[in-house]
Structure 1
């Protein structure tokens, strides 16, 4: 997509573009130029009338049973192939395909947990690529120079593309954490699916272009629901540790008996329409980008100073800070630069404005950026 490139070349014209779109699309009150009026902190009175449309869209985005069946078919095929060479290896699905936040368009991410012996990860991946080619998987390619080295392939039987890594167990722990959060309150899944869909259509979910990953958006949604009053989600890492997984000397631990937490957010009656508007409004106007880091681990925001994320270090810019729950030195927003931060904030403003003023926000909100 060229969307971000076009926007990043636009100099200071972004606010005018957003303002023009809001005036033309939203039939809103006049003189909303530039940034929206910051004193507007409550959603429109009739916002709940848009909940049915948003929930219908959410239902349409959820993966089908056929999708899940084909995913299981691929896992079975991979298990058979891998066990020939590494009989003790364990195969873990991770990421969107396994954390409950994947759509029918999500590909499959697999982590092989195994002893590599004297082999390097790169050597093991090259051997894995040979094994998969011999078992008639298509388009097999070992990408050993990536931050997380992988074998990329496609499965002719299921039609899925698949990325396979070795011993990337932080990703496995993160996947379980997100899956457990998803079981506490259905509004998390609803919010995250809609935000991810919005980000994809608006061209702001591409880390290689300096915006945010799907994983980052899910963490933003979790933290946002931890911050609501009354709270909708707890902070699982601040509770009794019932699950522990040691990854490279780091203890990934939290309370995973989430069946005890089904009524945690019952005192908060906000609908998905209210929450979606409040999410965009928070990121447009309320989040302190200069000072704050969002932390699912703490269930709150913490200061950049506390993280020592006040200045750029190498390629990590720390302009929009999202702490990974277990790899706490990892800032999911590190790729965001000044141009793409402006773009993101313009898009958050646009989304909040559309939900606040548009006659048919369920359509306008998700209009593809072009």
Structure 2
């Protein structure tokens, strides 16, 4: 990648790796994470850099499958190295992950047992399916390990580690620390002791009532943590520092989440914000069964056999009937195929600009505008781009999701196969997609696709995320398989939304009102009641 960048842009660009490739915790087929920035003398905008990198990667023979994911919390460009097949994520917006990676690297390099602890738990999390959508990220697991070490007295709080160093501020966040005076782990403690202790500690922790703060080295009561500047002065001081640097007040820590785990350095960031209620129950069961297995280590011939059970046998036990109620809850709460849209920083900037220019009304919140735009756009894309027949089943308020929409969808025309999501000069993205639909409509009429199912959109009260879901019709066991038409359509839709810029959505759609409330609700049909 560095060679390609130098060929295209000379020495104007700095390429810095971060993540597992730096920490030494990468597994087979782990992603390669890169941060790119102009060198110290260059002062062009990050948007210009993002577009330039996105542009030359699409013409590079060494890289393919280039996708610009602009809607993420930190927008990235994802591509694949064609020789090795490795996926690469490029970030030009936020350098903070570099400093998180440096801390983890230095911490685990102090003692081989810490690296073994981290590597085993990362593999265990993947085998146990704890990593994934609506579940934990690998970095979230690293933060849990840091907090566990603090509770064992093996690592001081981050605040303590910063107390002997001058601040090292990056965009208002202090990434200074000093590990030199951290006491060594006793020789009486082996890697298995650390692993067993991790499972035992988290198998009994009441996640839902606390905020885990590695910065403070302790847990806080959720209801009291952010009552005011006196409750957590360092958090509010950092919010002020970020605002001074960026000119924008950062969003508050997302406390109204199932699981609250504070980033060790970036105190407004909940690294577990994506974990759902159902998956927290599943995670707790994994911790409990792993702790039970470690406590009964004598039942295994040796430690190797125990490790083998934790990595492979544990999942089989989770699937047994005695845990069926937890599995059922997970399946009901989080369908197998879902996708979450979050407002990006760029989305908010575009909306704010439109409000300031009085294109949008200022009597609604920015997030109400964002949610309405996303919902109206997706409805149009499904009906006009994918030419689906859509029957409204439900539009109403529910306790957890006040904004809830459900349709029965169907078509006999395959409008998703081989769809091209590249941008074409002289055409808007929407126009290019519509032209492909017209072509499919004329060339594929004789081939029946037979796609049916349910499509759901739902959002919580704060309107800061929109969850998309697809479900099969009652009794249909084929359409939700990997090669089923409903799943192929859903994957195509996700690709479409990834490439469809928010600015273009706003240029096409005029937002009239926020999502429907009770007065506008439809009564649910018998079919909808049967499926929920």
- TM-score, length-scaled by structure 1: 0.68
Does 1:282 pair with 2:201? yes
CA contact (8 A) 1:129 1:142 kept: yes
Residues 26-68 of structure 1: CA distance to partner in whole angstroms, max 9, x if unpaired? xxxxxxxxxxxxxxxxxxxxxxxxxxxxxxxxxxxxxxxxxxx
- Partner SS state of residue 354, structure 1: helix
Give the 3 Å change call, closer, same or farther, for CA 244–159 of structure 1 in structure 2: farther
Distance 1:306 1:172 in 2: 32
Distance 1:82 1:326 in 2: 35
Query: Structure 1: any 5+ residue segments left out of the alignment?
Result: 1-74
Query: Which of residues 121, 143, 146 in structure 2 aligns to 1:222?
Result: 146
**Which position in structure 2 is the counterpart of 1:128?**
53
CA contact (8 A) 2:36 2:92 kept: yes
Distance 1:241 1:113 in 2: 30
What do you get for the CA RMSD once the two structures are aligned? Answer: 2.7
Query: Structure 2: any 5+ residue segments left out of the alignment?
Result: 228-251, 317-532
Query: Which of residues 154, 173, 190 in structure 2 aligns to 1:232?
Result: 154
**1:268 Cα shift?**
6.3
Query: Which of residues 268, 285, 291 in structure 2 aligns to 1:346?
Result: 285
Distance 1:188 1:177 in 2: 13
Does 1:180 pair with 2:103? no
Runs of 4+ in structure 1 deviating by more than 6 angstroms, as ranges, are none
**Which position in structure 2 is the counterpart of 1:12?**
none
The structure that has the greater radius of gyration is 2
Give the 3 Å change call, closer, same or farther, for CA 157–140 of structure 1 in structure 2: same
Distance 1:246 1:129 in 2: 29
Does 1:293 pair with 2:211? yes
Question: Which shows bigger deviation, 276-285 or 100-109?
Answer: 100-109
- Partner SS state of residue 353, structure 1: helix
CA contact (8 A) 1:237 1:297 kept: yes
Distance 1:300 1:270 in 2: 23
Does 1:211 pair with 2:156? no
What is the correspondence of 1:115-264 to structure 2 with a 5 Å cutoff? 119=45, 121=47, 123-136=48-61, 137-206=63-132, 208=133, 210-228=134-152, 231-239=153-161, 240-242=163-165, 244-255=167-178, 258=179, 260-261=180-181, 264=183
- TM-score, length-scaled by structure 2: 0.48
**1:126 Cα shift?**
2.6
Give the 3 Å change call, closer, same or farther, for CA 314–299 of structure 1 in structure 2: closer
**1:350 Cα shift?**
1.0
Structure with more relative contact order (C-alpha pairs < 8 Å, separation 6 or more) = 1
CA contact (8 A) 2:202 2:287 kept: yes
Distance 1:142 1:339 in 2: 30
**Which position in structure 2 is the counterpart of 1:41?**
none
CA contact (8 A) 1:294 1:323 kept: yes
CA contact (8 A) 1:152 1:162 kept: yes
Give the 3 Å change call, closer, same or farther, for CA 119–236 of structure 1 in structure 2: closer
**Which position in structure 2 is the counterpart of 1:366?**
311
CA contact (8 A) 1:185 1:233 kept: no
Residues 115-144 of structure 1: CA distance to partner in whole angstroms, max 9, x if unpaired? 7856462x5323212212333222222221
CA contact (8 A) 1:114 1:166 kept: no
Give the 3 Å change call, closer, same or farther, for CA 97–292 of structure 1 in structure 2: same
